[in-house]
């Protein structure tokens, strides 16, 4: 029905970290990641923490939820309630990916519903405070070409461009994971590039200050390939645990 809830109550609310008391009731106190993030916010008062909803694993329900006003309203209200209960500063939507023009239009409506609910909550409980609304957005043209980028740029505070995972186990040849530009010498090694994606978003009307470049803090090795663009037999180190 569009209700937003935690996907891992143990990790989010129950896991005890060093310094947590086992004498405190799990029913009355938050532990887990939520408490650790709250402690970080207390120590660093300008830190903003957002509730991220969706992702590759949890995106399958977005199309249905976004398709009706009732489920959009339920989604927005429950998301803001969860954000409030966990003392977060905004909401991030990671829909991977709208597959049609109808999905793209409904995504805009869903984001507007969340924006309206955030503003209504702020007006009543935190006048003058702006709760952030962001999205994770694709860097592949087959996905971003379906989106209503100008509308997204108008509604959200930031668009976090997923400028990574350009190559991996799903690729037929060894490729760059987060290349800025296309490799004209070995084009098969760069099926995607960040330069084209950024230009497409800007040309579609997304304000430059709202576009955030995502960067991976990891890399991949390709077994059996001695250079970019060569076929491989898998990703990772053979017979070794990382």
CATH number at residue 26: 3.20.20.80
Is residue 161 assigned to a domain? yes
8 Å CB contact between 85 and 125: no
pLDDT band at 111; cut points 50, 70, 90: very high
Give me the number of domains the chain comprises: 1
| 52-80 pLDDT tens trace | 999 999 999 999 999 999 999 999 999 99
CA neighbor of 107 nearest in space, from 143, 142, 78: 143
> Is 129 within a domain?
yes
Query: What is the torsional sign of CA 168, 173, 177, 178?
Result: negative
**pTM for the predicted model, two decimal places:** 0.90
Q: How far apart (Å, rounded) are the C-alpha atoms in residues 141 and 204? A: 13
Residue 170 belongs to what domain range?
9-235
Q: Measuring CA to CA, how many Å separate 155 from each of 5, 104, 138, 151, 160?
A: 24, 14, 17, 6, 14
Catalytic residue among 18, 24, 96, 230: 96
Whether residue 115 lies inside any domain: the answer is: yes
Q: What would the pLDDT profile of 4-39 be if each residue is shown by its tens digit?
A: 999 888 988 878 888 777 766 556 678 889 999 999
Instruction: Say if 240 falls within a structural domain.
Output: no
Q: Is residue 207 part of a domain?
A: yes
Any catalytic annotation for residue 96?
A: yes
In a domain, 242, yes or no: no
pLDDT at 242: 43
Number of helices (H) and strands (E), helices first, in the chain?
A: 8, 7
**pLDDT (tens digit per residue) in 143-157:** 999 999 999 999 999
Q: Does the residue 2 lie in any domain?
A: no
Does residue 47 surpass a pLDDT of 70? yes
Residue 81: inside a domain: yes
Please give the Cα distance from 85 to 83 (Å, whole number). 6
16-30, 37-51, 160-174: which range is least confident on average?
16-30
Nearest 5°: the CA angle 128, 132, 138 is: 160
């Amino acid at each position: 029905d569009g209700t937003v809830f935690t996907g891992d109550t143990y990790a989010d609310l129950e896991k005890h970290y060093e310094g947590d008391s086992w004498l405190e009731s799990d029913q009355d106190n938050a532990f887990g990641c939520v408490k650790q993030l709250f402690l970080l916010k207390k120590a660093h008062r300008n830190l903003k923490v957002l509730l991220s909803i969706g992702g590759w694993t949890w995106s399958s329900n977005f199309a249905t939820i976004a398709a009706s006003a009732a489920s959009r309203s339920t989604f927005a209200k429950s998301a803001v309630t969860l954000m409030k209960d966990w003392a977060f500063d905004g909401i991030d939507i990671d829909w991977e990916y709208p597959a049609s023009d109808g999905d793209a239009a409904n995504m805009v409506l869903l984001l507007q519903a969340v924006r309206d609910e955030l503003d209504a909550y702020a007006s009543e409980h935190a006048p003058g405070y702006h709760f952030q609304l962001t999205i994770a957005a694709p860097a592949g043209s087959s996905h971003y070409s379906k989106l209503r980028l100008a509308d997204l740029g108008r509604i959200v505070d930031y668009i976090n461009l997923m400028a990574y995972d350009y190559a991996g186990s799903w690729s037929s040849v060894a490729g760059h994971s987060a290349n800025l530009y296309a490799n004209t010498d070995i084009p098969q090694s760069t099926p995607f590039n960040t330069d084209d994606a950024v230009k497409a978003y800007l040309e579609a009307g997304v304000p430059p200050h709202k576009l955030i470049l995502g960067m991976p803090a990891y890399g991949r090795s390709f077994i059996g390939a001695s250079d970019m663009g060569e076929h491989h037999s898998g990703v990772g180190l053979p017979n070794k645990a990382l």
